[in-house]
């Protein structure tokens, strides 16, 4: 029997999950859960590169797990775990730090963005974060890493580091491919379609657990464009706001841009924006309701993350032992 291909990804519980996380990453994970051996985690160790409120971090980590499950990631079929529960991440992270170059890390756009935003806390972890991310990935020898467009650069660095390591020590790591969706890879902010949707601009960001009326209000206020055409036409350079709404609508309904143009021909933005809002609301409604239900069952959540950490540790430790042996550490 052929072995299943392996998929792995993670999200930082540094804020509430939003539509960008869902369309860029989680939706893709859930749709492929049956055909792959999947590992998904809450990247709590990454979040402390920026100062966090401890109580909020703890709460959001568990909420994120409930939302993963509510999005269709069945814990029986997927390994769901909390990054800090698998110490091999920190251990391989240190090793890979020593195989990742200063120049490579300096070129990472996420580092440049975050150090511009948090000028008073440009710490070592923020800079070496991609080496920890490489460890997160390479420990599980995945074939694919399903992420949004913004994580492509980190995935490419991971491949470079893995290749460098393999070149010195032989075939230790599988070289993974980023797996980026066609629609939804880069969801832009509703109030500023020139920057990606992120929790830092809450008015332009739709959260998975948000109330339908709040979601609809955000879509009705979404920036379309400054022309007077008032026509739903896919032209990303001229009409970035409209293109973003069309991308979102396409990602949640599965319709193509041509089908969307035809559906709204002659109707203008006044009809289009609430229709996108409704489609998003209906996509998120069952997720929100299910996540609220699961969140009440703390014992269940605990059983999921404990079993997940055990399964993940088994796989991760195998890779770590191999790495330690190759680099010359004495076996424990
Ligand atoms: P993070 O936590 O910023 O985002 C999690 C996932 O959501 C995607 N995403 C988006 N996709 C489309 N449009 C958007 N506006 C949008 N915003 C976020 C991201 O591309 C990502 O897939 N470094 C990672 C977390 C991480 C990780 C890993 C991922 C740590 N270790 C190992 C994969 C494998 C991060 O900061 O993603």
State the closest ligand 1 atom to the C-alpha of 132, by its place in the atom list counted from 1: 31
Tell me what pLDDT residue 112 has.
94
Q: Which among 10, 57, 96, 191 is the best mutation to test ligand 1's pocket, defined by most ligand atoms within 8 Å of the CB?
A: 10
Domain with 253 in it: what CATH number? 1.10.240.10
Residue 247 and residue 149 in one domain: no
pLDDT digits (tens, 9 = 90+) for 80-104: 999 999 999 999 999 999 999 999 9
Percentage of residues in the chain with pLDDT exceeding 70?
99
Distance 150 CA to ligand 1 centre (A): 7
Give me the mean pLDDT over the 63-78 stretch: 96
Is 195 domain-assigned? no
Residue 111 pLDDT exceeds 70: yes
Active site residue 325: no
Residue 229 pLDDT exceeds 90: no
Residue 276 and residue 312 in one domain: no
Closest-CA residue to 254 (of 273, 234, 279) = 279
CB 39, CB 78: distance < 8 Å = yes
Residue 28 and residue 78 in one domain: yes
Give me the mean pLDDT over the 295-310 stretch: 98
CB 41, CB 136: distance < 8 Å = yes
- Count of structural domains within the chain: 2
Residue 229 and residue 273 in one domain: yes
Q: Which domain holds residue 89?
A: 5-185+297-327
Residue 323 and residue 175 in one domain: yes
Residue 29 and residue 134 in one domain: yes
CA 1 → CA 4, 6, 37, 76, distances in Å? Answer: 9, 15, 14, 21
Residue 82 and residue 130 in one domain: yes
Distance CA 218, CA 13 (A): 23
Residue 58 pLDDT exceeds 70: yes
Residue 257 and residue 224 in one domain: yes
DSSP H helical ranges for the chain: 19-21, 27-31, 44-47, 54-70, 88-97, 102-106, 109-117, 124-138, 152-169, 212-220, 240-253, 257-263, 269-295, 298-327
Residue 9 and residue 111 in one domain: yes
Q: For the chain, how many residues are written?
A: 332
Residue 95 and residue 174 in one domain: yes
Give me the mean pLDDT over the 273-288 stretch: 97
Give the number of other CB atoms < 10 A from CB of residue 220.
14
Average model confidence (pLDDT) across the chain? 95
Cα 120 → chain centroid: 26
Classify strands 177-179 and 144-146 as parallel, antiparallel or unpaired.
parallel
Is 332 domain-assigned? no
Distance 277 CA to ligand 1 centre (A): 23
Residue 272 and residue 145 in one domain: no
Residue 82 and residue 176 in one domain: yes
Protein residue whose Cα sits closest to atom 9 of ligand 1? 21
Protein residue whose Cα sits closest to atom 5 of ligand 1? 11
pLDDT digits (tens, 9 = 90+) for 131-183: 999 999 999 999 999 999 999 999 999 999 999 999 999 999 999 999 998 88
Residue 1 pLDDT exceeds 80: no
Closest-CA residue to 22 (of 168, 143, 183) = 183
Which of these is catalytic: 152, 174, 199, 220?
199
Tell me what pLDDT residue 227 has.
67
Is 149 domain-assigned? yes
Domain with 32 in it: what CATH number? 3.40.50.620
CB 38, CB 77: distance < 8 Å = yes
Distance CA 80, CA 69 (A): 9
Protein residue whose Cα sits closest to atom 1 of ligand 1? 11
Is 168 domain-assigned? yes
């Amino acid at each position: 029997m052929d072995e299943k291909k392996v998929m792995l990804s993670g999200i930082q519980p540094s804020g509430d999950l939003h539509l960008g996380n869902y369309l860029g990453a989680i939706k893709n994970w859930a749709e492929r859960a049956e055909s792959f051996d999947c590992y998904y985690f809450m990247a709590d160790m990454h979040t402390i590169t920026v100062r966090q409120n401890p109580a909020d971090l703890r709460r959001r980590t568990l909420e994120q797990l409930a939302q993963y499950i509510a999005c269709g990631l069945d814990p029986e079929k997927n390994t769901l775990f909390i990054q800090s529960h698998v110490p091999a991440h920190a251990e391989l992270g240190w090793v890979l730090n020593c195989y990742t170059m200063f120049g490579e890390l300096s070129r990472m756009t996420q580092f440049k963005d975050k150090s511009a935003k948090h000028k008073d806390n440009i710490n070592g972890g923020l800079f070496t974060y991609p080496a920890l991310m490489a460890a997160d990935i390479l420990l599980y020898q995945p074939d694919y890493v399903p992420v949004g467009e913004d994580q492509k650069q980190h995935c490419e660095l991971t491949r470079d580091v893995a290749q460098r390591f393999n070149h010195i020590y032989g075939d230790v790591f599988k070289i993974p491919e980023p797996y980026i969706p066609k629609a939804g890879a880069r969801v832009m902010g509703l109030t500023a379609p020139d920057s990606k949707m992120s929790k830092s601009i809450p008015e332009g960001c739709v959260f998975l657990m948000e109330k339908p009326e709040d979601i609809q209000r955000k879509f009705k206020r979404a920036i379309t464009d400054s022309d007077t055409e008032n026509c739903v036409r896919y032209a990303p350079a001229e009409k970035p706001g409209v293109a973003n709404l069309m991308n979102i609508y396409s990602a949640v309904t599965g319709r193509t841009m041509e089908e969307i143009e035809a559906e709204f021909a002659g109707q203008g933005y006044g009809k289009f924006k609430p229709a996108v809002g409704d489609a998003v609301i209906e996509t998120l409604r069952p997720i929100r309701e299910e996540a609220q239900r699961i969140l009440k069952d703390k014992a269940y959540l605990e059983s999921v993350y404990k079993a997940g950490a055990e399964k993940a540790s088994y796989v991760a430790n195998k890779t770590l032992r191999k790495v330690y042996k190759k680099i010359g550490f004495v076996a424990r």
